[in-house]
Structure 1
Amino acid sequence: MLFTPIKIKDITIKNRIMMSPMCQYSADKDGLANSWHFVHYVSRAVGGVGLIMVEATAVESRGRITDRDLGIWNDQQVEPLKRIVDECKKHGVTMGIQLAHAGRKSEVADETPVAPSAINWSDDYKLPHELTKEEINAIVEKFKDAAVRALNAGFDAIEIHAAHGYLLHEFLSPLSNKRNDGYGGDITNRVRMLKEVIEAVKKVWPENKPLFVRVSSDDYIEGGIDIDEMIKILSYIKPLGVDVIDASSGGLLNAKIDLYPGYQIKYSEKIKSQLGFKTAAVGLITKAEMAEQILKDGKADLIALGRELLRNPYWPLYAAHDLKEDVEWPKQYERGKFRV
């Protein structure tokens, strides 16, 4: 299963191993990708990953987590990303990019963060500006413009970041969204901005290319989102044509989380079984046998690896050996290939 290709829309991913989007905090001050990103992503492509999801890439300057985050808010940022995409694709990998806005969790020094409500993430963070309806509309358009640039850079898939306490998640959770207009209150209002972003992106993103959404399935705090509420939220975006839900959790506030290998698999399983979405399971998955079993049990369609791929860019090659799968190695490395 782990090394079985999967076709999503017209894109075939060569195996079920997805590199989870992980910020490198290494971009130039103007959000441009550089040699670090090139080496970082191409190494994982050489290592046999099926789908690389490039780290959270900001749709506007104030949408960065830090001033060293990647950006995709202007056309000058396209070419360095395209160089990475083109080189990675030479190794048979599918390339995706996560479009993001940090919201109230932005720590960019010379920018005022924005949020659905004027509530800071903690006392160590700036008080955010509460977005007006017109400002919300402008950010929605920035997601659309970013999708056009992602297409021009050659990406095969995009992921809308609606998790980990960043802007779209802030709108979804009643703990951070205290608005009393059409973007706050009940679920139908709190999901409105995410729906508008998806609808705007789909106007420019080709119908034959996959669209992912990453969500935090549980806020781990009383009164916040839990998996049952997330199922309701996702039922509102189901008709919009989202292809994959990347099922993560947490990040809205500094909550205590019981961490253990595969601790988020239950969210992927429930979203997949109740709503019929394809899902990516993520969360301290490190062993090939565990990844294989998740897929065989029908709990996910993709296995998203984060820290494990930071430790070992060649994890897929080791996993293939552990599962006795004969996969193609880069010809330059064939002398080092395991003999099954």
Structure 2
Amino acid sequence: MVQIGYTMMTEQAGPRDLVDHLVGAERAGFDFSVVSDHYFPWLDSQGHAPYAWSVLGAAAQATQRIPLMTFVTCPTFRYHPAVVAQKAATMQLLSGGRFRLGLGSGENLNEHVIGAGWPSAEVRLEMFEEAVGIIRSLLAGGTLSHHGAHFDVDDARLWDLPDEPPPLGIAASGPRSCEIAGRYGDLLVAVAPDGGLVTSFAANGGEGKPCVGQVALSYDTDRDAAVARAHDQFRWATGGWEVNAELPGPAGFAAATRHTRPEDLTDTIPCGDDVDAVVEAVRAYADAGFTEVALVQIGGDRQVPFLDWAASELLPALREL
């Protein structure tokens, strides 16, 4: 059975609301949760970008059972990998072992803020692999000194370590990132129902490990309102990650999608209250070999009705997958 998760989308709600929504998601019966870790929203209309790690700390105390996960954190620019390791260890302790650390090579949208530039994808993946190795070493315990091509660590040690380190999820979108995911990851993270990613992950060491995907939807009893909301807040998703990783801010995403029409989204984003449409979107991931799928309800002000609908209609239907 595919596990169904809930996404705390930090780009579309403030920190207190995000925690309240997660409490509702736990009550509704979601199997796990993920949170985006951004400094900017993709579009101005989304309107938010609180600090994900503070939200996670509050969420760990406000909930009882639902697992937590970053989806995903970039450990190479805004955060040094030694600090990411410390944050992950602390979250595993605060949550009572419910935390998974999702990691990815990042987006210019969020990482440009420190003024370090935005190198080529090849360099970013080199940095990412080195950073993941540092994080794994520190979470394993002991003292680490490291002097690599991109990072230095001087006599670092995590003083508060959980009995079991948080599993590492590695985001992948191509062969090189799948190789890194297979070598270092305890699970695969992806945002496209691509069976090739699952196969490549397995071939590089990920055989039998969880694979986590994500499906965006716009629930509303008024389908026209749902389509309009998806266009207003989520049309950035039509660009693909080769483009989206490079754009530096909401203005760039607005310009890149200025010709995107509302009807251009409805083939990939279920809109309205059609349970079957969401089931089919999740089924695409299940058929590709994914074991978990996190749902994103578009619109920070539409989480409560979505959660009611999910509890009464959507989750029972998805349990049949």
Q: TM-score range by the shorter chain?
A: 0.5 to 0.7
What is residue 180 of structure 2 aligned with on the other side?
A: 236
- Corresponding residue to 2:307 among 288, 291, 313: 313
Residue pair 1:18, 1:304 contacting (<8 A) in 2 also:
yes
- Corresponding residue to 1:213 among 170, 176, 181: 170
What is residue 251 of structure 1 aligned with on the other side?
A: none
Q: Report the CA distance shift for 1:265/1:81 in structure 2 as closer, same or farther (over 3 A).
A: closer
Deviations 1:189-215 (A, max 9, x none): 542221232223222276564221234
- Corresponding residue to 1:294 among 276, 284, 295: 284
Residue pair 1:25, 1:69 contacting (<8 A) in 2 also:
no
What letter corresponds to residue 304 of structure 1 in structure 2?
A
What is residue 273 of structure 1 aligned with on the other side?
A: 199
- Corresponding residue to 2:105 among 162, 172, 182: 162
Residue pair 1:101, 1:166 contacting (<8 A) in 2 also:
no
Matched, 1:47 2:28: yes
Shift of 1:299: 3.1
Residue pair 1:160, 1:213 contacting (<8 A) in 2 also:
yes
Deviations 1:45-71 (A, max 9, x none): 1111111113316xxxxxx33785125
**Alignment TM-score, normalising by the size of structure 1:** 0.52
Shift of 1:39: 1.0
Residue pair 1:18, 1:51 contacting (<8 A) in 2 also:
yes
Deviations 1:85-110 (A, max 9, x none): 24322xx422223463599xxxxxxx
What is residue 242 of structure 2 aligned with on the other side?
A: none
Residue pair 2:188, 2:212 contacting (<8 A) in 1 also:
yes
Unaligned runs of at least 5 residues, structure 1: 3-15, 28-32, 58-63, 104-114, 116-135, 170-174, 179-183, 218-229, 249-263, 326-340
Matched, 1:38 2:19: yes
Number of residue pairs matched by the alignment: 217
Please tell me the root mean square deviation across aligned C-alpha atoms, in Å. Answer: 3.8
**Alignment TM-score, normalising by the size of structure 2:** 0.55
Q: Report the CA distance shift for 1:166/1:141 in structure 2 as closer, same or farther (over 3 A).
A: farther
- Corresponding residue to 2:91 among 141, 150, 159: 150
What is residue 70 of structure 2 aligned with on the other side?
A: 97
Matched residues in 1 for 2:124 and 2:66: separation?
36
What is residue 155 of structure 2 aligned with on the other side?
A: none
Shift of 1:274: 2.3
Matched residues in 1 for 2:92 and 2:319: separation?
37
Deviations 1:208-237 (A, max 9, x none): 64221234x2xxxxxxxxxxxx21232134
Which is bigger in relative contact order (C-alpha 8 A, separation at least 6)?
2
Matched residues in 2 for 1:148 and 1:323: separation?
33
Alignment of 1:102-113 (within 5 A): none
Unaligned runs of at least 5 residues, structure 2: 42-47, 141-161, 218-269, 271-276
Matched residues in 2 for 1:324 and 1:51: separation?
14
Deviations 1:254-292 (A, max 9, x none): xxxxxxxxxx213xx111022214322224465353156
Residue pair 1:195, 1:237 contacting (<8 A) in 2 also:
no
Matched residues in 1 for 2:319 and 2:85: separation?
43
Higher helix fraction: Structure 1 or Structure 2? 2
Q: Report the CA distance shift for 1:288/1:22 in structure 2 as closer, same or farther (over 3 A).
A: same
- Corresponding residue to 1:56 among 15, 27, 37: 37
Matched residues in 1 for 2:40 and 2:318: separation?
38
Between the aligned residues of both structures, percent identity stands at 12
What letter corresponds to residue 151 of structure 1 in structure 2?
Q
Matched, 1:194 2:128: yes
SS of residue matched to 1:306: strand
Shift of 1:303: 1.4
